[in-house]
Amino acid sequence: MGVAEAFDAVAAGYDAARRRLVPCFDAFYGTAVEVAAPPLRAALAAGRTPEVLDLGAGTGLLSSLLAAAVPGVRLTLVDAAPKMLAVAAEQLTGRGVPHRLVAADLADPLPAGRYDAVVSALAIHHLDDSGKRALYRRAAGALVPGGVFVNAEQVAGPTPDLDRRYHEVWLAQVTALGSDAAEIAAAEQRMTYDRPAPVGEQCRWLAEAGLAEVDCFFKAWRFAVFGGRAPD
């Protein structure tokens, strides 16, 4: 089974488990929305429909939160898992949010267009480091001037000891939030596809990709929100 099949297999129950498996859910996704929102609001103020590209969008969690925070956006969701995208389509259609779905790998060329925000949550860590760097370059190149890239991501600890500590803390937190042994085992099985990188290195890669004002805006152990802005 590949990573897309692993997520398709849990697509129906994916959203319900998120608040247990991402212990800092509100601050994590909320920060990503805060980082992405300003250029979207600026586009609306200029009379344009803001364009958002969500990489590894899954069931559209981050896209939905963005559409709720900035009504009027148009979303493009990319993911390799068609059942995850089908859940996203149902939810976005139900809420009347304009969107298009692109079933593709994150190594493929990005959907044509220029975007006010390129966003991603918990997806790019499935690529190896050269794949991440290449994707960051393509994402930076797909932004309008002043557009924002933000990645709400699972990151590696900067040392093996800290990385082990990240996992211990995660296990304790998800257990306290009510994840049972089966849910934790299934999440750990999906984590065998993970190739996370430390947040410091990834911020450097974003700067190398040409983004300005690169920063880590939120971090709680393995969960980090980082990004940057395309120069005007």
Residues that bind ligand SAM (CB under 6 A): 3-4, 7, 56-58, 61-62, 79-81, 84, 105-106, 121-123, 126-127
Report the nearest approach of ligand SAM to the CB of residue 14 (Å): 7
Q: Do 65 and 40 meet the contact criterion of CB atoms below 8 Å apart?
A: no
Name every residue whose Cβ is closer than 8 Å to that of residue 18 and which is 6 or more positions away in sequence.
25, 61
Report the nearest approach of ligand SAM to the CB of residue 24 (Å): 13
For ligand SAM, which is the closer residue by CB, 154 or 229? 154
For ligand SAM, which is the closer residue by CB, 61 or 75? 61
Report the nearest approach of ligand SAM to the CB of residue 191 (Å): 10
Report the nearest approach of ligand SAM to the CB of residue 75 (Å): 12
**If you ran DSSP here, which 8-state letter would residue 111 be given?**
P
β strands within the chain, DSSP E: 51-55, 74-79, 99-103, 115-121, 143-154, 212-220, 223-229
Q: Dihedral sign for Cα 21, 23, 26, 28, please.
A: negative
Report the nearest approach of ligand SAM to the CB of residue 232 (Å): 28
- Helices (H) and strands (E) counted in the chain, each on its own, are 9, 7
Taking CB atoms, the residue at the shortest distance from ligand SAM is 58
For ligand SAM, which is the closer residue by CB, 105 or 168? 105
Report the nearest approach of ligand SAM to the CB of residue 81 (Å): 3
The phi and psi torsions of 48 (rounded to 5 degrees) equal -110, 155
For ligand SAM, which is the closer residue by CB, 44 or 183? 183
For ligand SAM, which is the closer residue by CB, 61 or 230? 61
- What are the Cα distances from residue 76, in Å, to 88, 126, 204, 222? 11, 20, 26, 27
For ligand SAM, which is the closer residue by CB, 105 or 232? 105
Q: How far is CA 170 from the centre of its chain?
A: 19
For residues 43 and 38, what is the distance between their CA atoms, to the nearest angstrom? 9
